[in-house]
Amino acid sequence: MLTYSFTNIGSDSLYIHLYKCIKNDILSGNLAAGTKLPSKRSFAKNLGISTITVENAYAQLQSEGYIYSMPKKGFYITKIDPPLYTPRSTPQPEAPKTAAKRDYLLDFVNNKTNPDNFPFSIWAKLIRETISDKSEELMMTPPCGGIMELRRAICSHLKAFRNMEVEPEQVIIGAGTEYLYGLIIQLLGFRKTYAIENPSYQKLAQIYKSYQVTYHAIPLDSDGIDINVLENCAAQIAHITPSHHYPTGIVTSISRRYELLAWASREEGRYILEDDYDSEFRLSGQPIPTLQSIDQSEKVIYINTFAKSLSRTVRLSYMILPKHLLDTFYSQLDFYSCTVSNFEQYTLARFLSDGYFEKHINRMRTHYKNIRDSFLKAIRKSSFANRTRIYGEDAGLHFLINIETGSTDEELLQIAQKHNVHISLLSQYYIEPLGTIPDHTLLVNYSGLSLEQIPTAVGLLTDIFNELS
């Protein structure tokens, strides 16, 4: 009869130890398929353990399929064929190649939020209040579009800040705009053709590519996306950033906005995705009305995020669907769970409705205006001022510096790299087919900068300019 030692069984219970011993013998082939196991009683006696221990071990082996029972006969070993493994022909990669994160002296590309600018104490207070007041609601599965309290708060916010009339049912909350783009593709269709601006935020083309949908890259003129090129391509969905185009800083004019709405309403199935991502930070004048608010044909899907106004690390975005798409959305995509946790949805709802968001935005607008003004002033006073032309400084949190130089963009990037400054150039945002690409144009995202850093920043830029031909 089978015998196993019960010394040195470590922290295992007796039945687990027995279970492991038998399992190892099955896997190693010592116990062949079809072999009958000893009866519980005699096995227990033989091993000096209780029948219940053997019973538990057999039950576990049976539930995992290592053994099977035959009524009135006993337990038998199952036929198991561990596959013969052929090692993968490709060699195992070393550590995966994620881009090494450098510590730059100055970063004009990644807009990390300065911790001083996040309203930590208010946010912490609101989370605390939410947890103590809302324990029941925090545990309830929200509708796929998000909790109603937050969606109502967003409607009020949009009414106050953008004069938009929106019903809470039209608001769909999601964990980031990238996630919402995916939802929109599922809603409007993988077979539709999309148009994006050229140049544009690099992720946009990557997302459409990753979803394997067709997209065209449409050039811009000074009024916004080129309406003639859009008209003559097969695109049905125009994905644009009218309030502040990234990276050129172009603000779509009101006449172009009407032309775009007219384009959309000329054919069934055409839509405009209006990405209003940093409209909160128009630093001069009043914001231009959104396409959503002047659209009378329900052709606009409006998208915005709290990533810019709060922090990129709080994943909270939303889209506003036209009313006639709601039935389709709720019948086709209602099965999706909302991707944002209830804890953050309720916290943000309070942050909005208790007026903290408005205060925060006003404070940040003043803060960013100071940074921008001081930085521009320092640039204009610098030794390289006469070699620069600055534009796009009124909307959003970046501006552009066109540099007078004989150096190529490639050289410019290398020199910046050498000085440990992370920069990006306008030419890097162009997508095939390429049109006329403006070179020597530096993008300056200044939202991560503090006032104290400006002299250093101008100093580093001076070093870079000194090396340019």
Nearer residue to a copy of itself within complex by CB, 112 or 380: 112
Asked if 265 interacts with a copy of itself (CB under 8 A), we say: yes
Segment contacting a copy of itself by CB under 8 A, of 335-343, 407-415, 418-426, 432-440 = 335-343
- What is the nearest approach in angstroms of a copy of itself to the Cβ of residue 169? 5
Q: Map the footprint of a copy of itself across residues 151-190, applying CB under 8 A.
A: 169, 175-176, 178-179, 182, 186, 190
- What is the nearest approach in angstroms of a copy of itself to the Cβ of residue 65? 2
Asked if 434 interacts with a copy of itself (CB under 8 A), we say: no
- What is the nearest approach in angstroms of a copy of itself to the Cβ of residue 254? 4
Segment contacting a copy of itself by CB under 8 A, of 47-55, 209-217, 428-436, 456-464 = 209-217
For the chain, the C-alpha Rg in angstroms (whole number) is 31
Q: Map the footprint of a copy of itself across residues 13-32, applying CB under 8 A.
A: 16, 19
For residue 433, cis peptide bond before it (omega within 30 degrees of 0): yes
Biggest CA pair distance of the chain: 98
Nearer residue to a copy of itself within complex by CB, 311 or 405: 311
What is the edge-to-edge ordering of all strands in the sheet holding 424-425?
388-391, 398-403, 441-445, 424-425
- What is the nearest approach in angstroms of a copy of itself to the Cβ of residue 390? 16
Per-state percent for the chain, helix, strand, coil, to nearest 5: 45, 15, 40
Asked if 131 interacts with a copy of itself (CB under 8 A), we say: yes
Assess contact for 430 and 437: CB atoms under 8 A: yes
Tokens of 300: 């606009």
Tokens of 439: 């070179």
Assess contact for 165 and 381: CB atoms under 8 A: no
- What is the nearest approach in angstroms of a copy of itself to the Cβ of residue 415? 26
Q: Give me the helices (H) in 289-442, please.
A: 291-294, 326-332, 342-353, 356-381, 409-418
Q: Map the footprint of a copy of itself across residues 54-93, applying CB under 8 A.
A: 56, 59-60, 63-66, 78-83, 85-86, 88, 90, 92-93
Assess contact for 464 and 419: CB atoms under 8 A: yes
- What is the nearest approach in angstroms of a copy of itself to the Cβ of residue 224? 9
Q: Which of 22, 300, 316, 371 binds a copy of itself (CB under 8 A)?
A: 316
Assess contact for 317 and 177: CB atoms under 8 A: yes
